[in-house]
Amino acid sequence: MVDRPGTAAPPSGRWPWPAGLLLSLIPTSALAHASDRGHVLLLPTGHYIIGGALAVAASFLVLLLVRPETLERLAAGRLTIGPAPDALRLPLSLLSFLVLAILVLAGVFGSRDPLSNPLSLTIWTLLWVGLTLLQGLLGNLWSWINPWYGPHRIASALLGKSVDAPPLRLPAWAGLWPAVVLFLGFAWFELIDPAPEDPLRLAWAVGGYWLFNFAMMLLFGFEAWAGRCEFLSVFFGMVARFGVVGREDDEKVSLRLPSARLLQTPALALSSTVFLLFTLASVSFDGLSRTFFWFALNGLNPLEFPGRTALIAINGVGLAIACVLLALVFFACVFLGEKLAGTRRHFAVTAGTFVWSIVPIALAYHFSHYLTVLLVNSQYALVAFSDPFSLGWDLFGTAHMPVRAAVAAGSDSAWVIWNAQAAAIVGGHVLAVLVAHMLAYRLHGTARAATLSQLPLTILMIAYTVLGLWLLSTPTAA
């Protein structure tokens, strides 16, 4: 999708440089570009920001009055739907691979306009925006449509190799560090590369990424590589734990309250914790890098956008700082919280447990940050799917469908969108406080120790609420 300039309105005031560093800490889980956000400047954003911060703070105080046993019973409740239809996994994966191959061909031979090419619209809108939200609602759909699973099974059968006995084995010390490296490469391409939306450029990147991971899966096995190295599978698996639909230990599919499964997940290893934090930081920086504040901080005129090529070095350094800074601040809050609680636990285990509480914030900010993108660009995708190669086809009867950009424009739409965004941000942070409190109670065993351990993280979450709403409302230059 195409970056679009925000409303050209001057900033209302100058922020000190430490605020820029803090702004890079706003967490979110998805990686896509947002469209215009200037219309929210017409709304009383100050009231929303203050109200949101007070709501998150109040949720922490309310938890002091609620018995942990009550929350435990709510989290344990489930409604069983039935057995998981595992037989569909292979055909769905093969269908997904076929669709991906067609999309890559469309990227090579189709329109060079990102808003007319189905590859660009699928990757940046339907995958990163739409599928991430579905994962957070319906569980791990990616495991059923993973485009490597089916081809790997077939290739292993043709080569006469067992899928359970790959030629090589990943060492335990590698953890999820390969996924961290692959994600950082992807983040650089998505946020720093001059033209990530260009269909031809994107087709080479997507095709090369698929082939590389397919080769690694043949060497190390699908489950090992997808579970620890292929960052899409790792990321979607983490996000899916928020969902109300999911598979239980007894292989049954059931319904649970949002975030309930986060309370039953084991602590992440250090590499996994860093991976999750880096994914949040990267999209936080995506939002920050287009604000008037960021341009002014780097001595650039936001009304004379110089293009992404001129910002490669600046944004590259900014992305690295954002990732490292978020990790350091999170680890510092966890360390300080454990000191206040007076407990002596392995720090990596504690951090790996509490990092799950950031998933609700990530999904909430993902929804808020990219809502207008999903509303508008999904319509362009319907048009592009009917004529993927720009040959005048109308495969699904949508090739000439008018795109209604007014769904995200105008005062009425602005009011609805902003309230939905603000509600998601505040609601996500309230859920995060709840999850963190429950995880702390399970770790420490007493309400007092759990409360003390969560004070620094709660302050950080309140800051995220304020900064998240500010980032949604501030004018952008590109």
Alpha-carbon distance of 93 to 216, in angstroms, equals 18
Mean pLDDT of 112-120: 96
DSSP result, 358-412: GHHHHHHHHHHHHHHHHHHHHHHHHHHHHSTTSSS--TTS-TTPPP-GGGG-SHH
For 368-425, the pLDDT digits (tens) are 878 888 999 999 999 999 999 999 999 999 999 998 877 666 667 777 887 888 788 8
Mean pLDDT of 315-324: 94
Cα–Cα distances in Å, from 323 out to 180, 205, 335, 430? 11, 23, 18, 24
> Residue 45: its pLDDT value, please?
65
Q: Which long-range contacts (CB under 8 A, 24 or more apart) does 120-123 make?
A: 120/1, 120/197, 120/198, 120/199, 120/202, 121/1, 121/377, 121/378, 121/380, 121/381, 121/384, 122/381, 123/202, 123/206
Cα–Cα distances in Å, from 372 out to 129, 414, 443? 10, 10, 40
> Residue 409: its pLDDT value, please?
64
Backbone angles phi, psi at 65, to 5 degrees: -100, -10
Contact between 42 and 414 (Cβ < 8 Å): yes
> Residue 11: its pLDDT value, please?
35
Mean pLDDT of 430-457: 86
For 328-353, the pLDDT digits (tens) are 999 999 999 989 988 777 888 899 99
As given in the structure block, the two tokens for residue 237 are 């698996």
Residue 6's pLDDT band (boundaries 50, 70, 90)? very low
Beta bridge partners of residue 8, listed in sequence order: none
Mean pLDDT of 168-185: 94
> Residue 25: its pLDDT value, please?
41
Least confident of 125-134, 334-343, 355-364, 441-450: 441-450
pTM across the whole model: 0.85
DSSP one-letter code for 305: -
> Residue 430: its pLDDT value, please?
85
Mean pLDDT of 185-210: 95
Query: Considering the chain, what is the average pLDDT of its residues?
Result: 83
Residue 305's pLDDT band (boundaries 50, 70, 90)? confident
> Residue 23: its pLDDT value, please?
39
Q: What percent of the chain has pLDDT over 90?
A: 43
> Residue 205: its pLDDT value, please?
97
**Selected residue with higher pLDDT from 15 and 432:** 432
> Residue 57: its pLDDT value, please?
77
> Residue 353: its pLDDT value, please?
92
Cα–Cα distances in Å, from 8 out to 241, 289, 303, 339? 40, 16, 7, 47
Residues 6+ apart with CB under 8 A from 313: none
For 9-57, the pLDDT digits (tens) are 333 333 333 334 343 343 333 333 434 444 444 456 676 677 777 777 7
b/e sequence 212-223, b meaning 16+ C-beta within 10 Å: ebbebbbebbbe
